[in-house]
Structures are given as structure tokens and as C-alpha cells.
Amino acid sequence: MKLVVVSAGLSVPSSTRLLADRLAAAAAPAATAPEPAPAEVRVIELRDLAVEIAHTFTNGFPAPALADAFAEVAAADGLIVVTPVFSASYSGLFKSFFDALGVTDADALAGKPVLIAATGGTARHSLVLDHALRPLFAYLKAVVVPTGVYAASEDWGADGLDARIERAATELAALMSGPAGSPTRRPLPKRDSFEEVTPFAERLAALGVPGPSPAP
Amino acid sequence: MQFGIFTVGDVTPDPTTGRTPTERERIKAMVAIALKAEEVGLDVFATGEHHNPPFVPSSPTTMLGYVAARTERLVLSTSTTLITTNDPVKIAEDFAMLQHLADGRVDLMMGRGNTGPVYPWFGKDIREGINLAVENYNLLHRLWREDVVNWEGKFRTPLQGFTSTPRPLDGVAPFVWHGSIRSPEIAEQAAYYGDGFFHNNIFWPADHTKRMVELYRARYAHYGHGTPEQAIVGLGGQVFMRKNSQDAVREFRPYFDNAPVYGHGPSLEDFTAQTPLTVGSPQQVIEKTLAFRDYAGDYQRQLFLMDHAGLPLKTVLEQLDLLGEEVVPVLREEFAKNRPADVPDAPTHASLLAARKDAPAEEGVHA
């Protein structure tokens, strides 16, 4: 079981990373319970990949470290994604990571359980989860857990954040470990990838075109 | 093995002088570059096809016909011919005409183009890009092989009792390559027909090219055209050379930094590390090009992009001298080493004609 955390925090240390770590610490053991070993956690710090993310747009392909991160995301059984709020939305870097991912694999998140979370200086921005992050991940065909977690500065010294983290992590864990037949656990068919190409005769037949002519 | 050059035909300001050539200058430069390719012993000249500024080559067979009249050996090709938005009937006619004029020194590469608005400009739907490539090429394939074609499809008006003229030279259709950077469907199409597959290979890391070529080779064998190793593979490459590699880097950097495709992006150093671009001495170009075989297998055609990003004609001609004198002779020798005897050369008009005479029943499948 593999849990991948995408954190778009910029400062070191960052409250975005802090929230990401809290969520991962709660979700990793829950995803594999009652097994004693928790899910393997890999954290992707977008700050480290910022230049490679930009170059994906100018080049059309991801550089090696970013390609590794994309492979981790593609192989994840579940994702925790956390962004600071910038200008009333997710940060540009956060969005760009998922845009660049789409350049290489438009369906990378299809059917994948995703826990959305955000941090901000004030609780006034908390609806960013439902007005910005949830539609983005719905568009990417992810299965977004019902509870998102928003942490304003004041939440780090108040009651309530623990319970929201616990609840969201439990929901993510349930989707990650769900029955094999559930939508999030079923590998999607990958037509026209390197693994599975539509036989050419099928393509011709779909157009109503006969195959190549016999020799004259 | 064939070596040659392919050109995009971009009109780009020279970043070191700010000067932009006129369209006439650029078109004449492309011709001069083609003639130089033959002079320095290269085998192939291929031109792109574009229908929007800053590109000039909208009419490839016009240019190739002119080049044909002024050359003796050079194979004239395209990189690519738009199978999506051109009428396949016109492609059949234009290239058969060129074949006669050039005494068979013609092949062509199918592509889908890289400019979205070309589709609507020519009355097509970009969402049908793959289907257009499939249906149009199927018709083109028949027009060159059947004297009278009755045809009905989804994308063009039906044909009843249609004969494409002139018929292909000696009844042998021009050899076709299919070019694609990232669409497995096109590798599959090339394999299905037993045609060649060309990977542009210059903007993407090698492992991506490797996967496309491996898929094509496997499917080529699946369709019974030969072993995977016998499939017909072409690769692009991009180089800039000076005797001293530091001079090459210094001179090429402003062109790289401002290049239309990858300029203002990664550093020259990162890009050369991550893609097949080589900027350095002829020996470095030789080493990097020979390594293409490690991931693509023994292949048939190597084309280099030499004349883009605003490089002046004089510089490009110097590059071609280096390519023809110092690089390609060594590549010919080295690529021939350890090459299995049953790996074919790139098909030519002569080889296709000979093959048809040997095995007439198979011509329709292999040509």
C-alpha cells in the first residue's frame, strides 16, 4: 500500500508540510489496519521541483526528478494534496504540478482516492477546499474524500483540527483499502498506451474502411 | 543506412543580429541546403509542411521537384506530409508526379501536424486527427496500388471509378514512413502496413523514443512483415558542431536560448543531457549518434535537423561540410559493424522494384 503526499508549501518549515505530515501520520496506519505495518509514505515537496515543473511547459516532457515524482503519483493507492491559499485559490505551483502531470498522463489521477487540504493565514479562506480544490480533482476524475481539512494559523492553537484530521484520514484510508471491486480499486483500462494498442483492423473497421488491398 | 537532413522551414530572426530573412531568402536557402546535402554525400533531404507563419514550406512537392531537377542521387522526402488535412487524392497525384520527375528518388513521411488551427482552416476536426490519418492513408495506399478505385469513407466525398494519375513510377508506390512523437496509434499504423516508422527524437528523452520504436518493431513482426529487427526505423537528431567543442557551445547558445520550440526553457546543458541534442565536436556527435542504436536497434535512416532557430545559411553550409566530411563517413563505417545481415537497408525505388519482380504476390503487402 502506498500513500503519496504532495505538499506545495514554500517556506521551511512550512505549516502546509506540517498539515501534510499530520494527515499522513493518521492515514498511513489506518489504510493498512489491522496489519501492523502502515502504508508506505512518500512526500513530494513541490518547491524542490518548481523549475522542472516550469520546464515541462517549455519542453513538453518532465525532467528526471519530476518524472520520478509523476511515477510515484501514478503508482499511489491514495494521495494527500496540500496547498497554501494564494489569491483565494490553490497556489500556482500546486496547479502547475497537476497541469504538468496531465501533459504526460491525462488520466494519472482517474479513480484515485485523494484527500484535499489547505492552509491559510485566516479561516476566511476555508471554502477554498470546496470551491477550488474539489472541482479541480473532480475534473481529474479522482475520488475526493468527503472531508477536506483546512488549517488557518489560529487552528494550530485551538481545538478541532485533530478531529478533522482524524476524520479525513479515516475516510481516505477506507477508500484506499476498499473492496477490490470498488471503483477506486479497479485499474482503469489503458487503451492506446504502450501497454495496450487498439489493433489496427479494429480502427479501420470502426471507420467502415476495408483493410489494405490485395496486390494488383 | 541512409543519412540526411530534415528541415522545418521556419523563418526565425537570427538572435545574434536581429535580422529576419525574407521568405524568398529562406526558401532559396532551403534549396541551397538541399543541394549542399547531395554535394557532401548525404542521402536524403526532407522538408516539413506548414500552413502558417513563421514557416514557408506549404508546397513540398513544388520545392522537391525543383531540387530533383538540380540533383542526381539525393532521395527527396518530407517531414512530414499532413495526412490529416491534405486530400489523400492530391497527395497520391503530387507524389506520383514527383516520382516520375525525380526518377524514383522519392519517399514521404506521414504526420498529423503540430498546429491546431490547420484542421479548421482545411475544414477538418482536430478531434478526428487519428481517424483522419487512418482513413486518408488507407485511401492513399489504395490509390497507388489499384488502377481504378471505388471508395466511400467518412471524411471525403466518395470516389467512383477513379484513377489517380500519373500512376506510380514502374507501378511501385513511393515508400512511406509514418512519423509520430507520442502516439502509439501511429506506430501501430506503420506496423500494420509494413511501412517505416520515424521518430523525430529531438525534443524528447531517449527512453520515450525507445518505447515507441519497440512498440513499432513488435507490431511489425506481429503483422508478419518480418522479425522485429527487420522493421524499418528512422530517427531524427539535432547537432551543432565546431572542431573545438567549446566554440560550438559558445556559438550555438544564443540560437538555443531563443529557439522557437525549447528556447527560454531549460539550459543548453540540461537539454543536451536529457535529449539527443549534441552541441560539440564532430567526435562528440559521432559518439552520441552511435548510441542511438543502443535504444533503437539497428536502424535504416538518420536525419539531422541543421537549419533552424535563425542560423544563417553560411553557418548551416559549414555544418553540412562537417557532417558530410567528418561525421557521416565514420557513422557509415561504425553502424555497419555488427549489423546483422538480415537487417534490411531503407527501401528505395530500385529495391522495391527488384522485390516486386522477385515476389510479385507480396508487393501489395510490402511496398
Question: Domain coordinates of chain B in residue numbers?
Answer: 2-366
Identify all chain A residues contacting B211, using CB atoms and an 8 Å cutoff. Answer: 194
Angle of helix A64-75 relative to helix A46-59, nearest 10 degrees, comes to 110
Report how far residue A28's alpha carbon sits from residue A48's, in angstroms, rounded to the nearest whole number.
Answer: 24
Q: Kindly state the average pLDDT of the residues B228-250.
A: 97
Distance in angstroms (rounded) separating the CA atoms of residues A81 and B290: 44
**What's residue A58's pLDDT?**
87
For range B244-248, the mean pLDDT:
97
Percentage above 70 pLDDT, chain B? 98
Cross-chain residue pair B271–A59, CB shorter than 8 Å: yes
- The reported pLDDT for the residue numbered A186 is 61
Looking only at Cα atoms, what is the longest distance across chain B? 62
In which residue are the cell numbers 497525384 written?
B93
**Cβ burial, residue B261 (10 Å; 0-12/13-18/19+):** middle
Beta-bridge mates of residue B151: B159
Q: Say how far apart CA B257 and CA B269 lie, in whole Å.
A: 11
A136 CB-near residues (< 8 Å, 6+ apart): A90, A95, A98
**Phi and psi torsions of A83, nearest 5°:** -135, 150
Minimum mean pLDDT range among A58-67, A77-86, A123-132, B168-177: A58-67
Domains of chain A: 2-186 (3.40.50.360)
Question: Cα(B352)–Cα(B91) distance, rounded to whole angstroms?
Answer: 20
Spatial separation of the C-alpha atoms in residues A16 and A21, rounded to whole Å = 9
Question: Tens of pLDDT along A96-120?
Answer: 999 999 988 889 999 999 999 999 9
pTM for the whole structure: 0.89
Say what the ipTM of the complex is: 0.81
Cβ separation B361–A215 shorter than 8 A: yes
User: According to the model, what pLDDT value does residue A188 have?
Assistant: 60
Contact at CB, B135 and A216, closer than 8 angstroms: no
Residues of A in contact with B264 (CB under 8 A): 58
Q: Looking at residues B44-64, what average pLDDT do you find?
A: 96
Beta bridge partners of B4: B44, B303
pLDDT tens by residue, A169-187: 999 999 999 876 566 666 6
Query: Can you give the pLDDT at residue B208?
Result: 86
Place of cell 555497419: B336
Residue B366: pLDDT band with limits 50, 70, 90: very low
**Separation CA B161–CA B158 (nearest Å):** 10
Which conformational region is residue B170 in: left (phi greater than 0), alpha (psi within -120 to 50 degrees), or beta? left
Least confident stretch, A51-60, B84-93, B143-152: A51-60
Residue A204 contacts B, CB cutoff 8 Å: yes
Query: Cα–Cα distances in Å, from A13 out to A19, A84, A155, B176, B341?
Result: 11, 13, 17, 58, 62
Q: Which class in CATH covers the domain with range B2-366?
A: alpha beta
DSSP state, residue B156: S
Closest among A146, A149, A57 to A95, alpha carbons compared: A57
Among B188, B197, B356, the residue to mutate for chain A (most A Cβ within 10 A): B188
Cα B119 from chain centre = 21
The residue among A94, A42, A46 whose CA lies nearest residue A73 is A42
Average pLDDT, chain B: 95
**What pLDDT is stored for residue B117 in this prediction?**
92
pLDDT at residue B361 tops 70? no
Residue B364 is nearest to which of A55, A201, A214, comparing CB atoms?
A214
CB pair distance less than 8 Å for A61 and B205: yes
pLDDT at B365 over 60: no
pLDDT above 90: residue A191? no
Q: Kindly report the CA angle at A197 between A191 and A198, in degrees rounded to 5?
A: 80
* Residue of A51, A192, A202, A209 best to disrupt the B interface, most CBs of B under 10 A: A209
Q: What is the pLDDT of residue B265?
A: 87
Going B255 to B260 to B261 to B265, the CA torsion angle's sign is positive
Percentage above 70 pLDDT, chain A: 90
DSSP A31-100: HHTTSSSPPEEEEEEHHHHHHHHHHHHHHSS--HHHHHHHHHHHH-SEEEEEEEEETTEE-HHHHHHHHH
- In tens, the pLDDT along A12-46 reads 899 999 999 999 999 999 999 999 999 999 999 99
| Partner residues linked to B2 by β-bridges | B301
Residue B127 pLDDT greater than 70, yes or no: yes
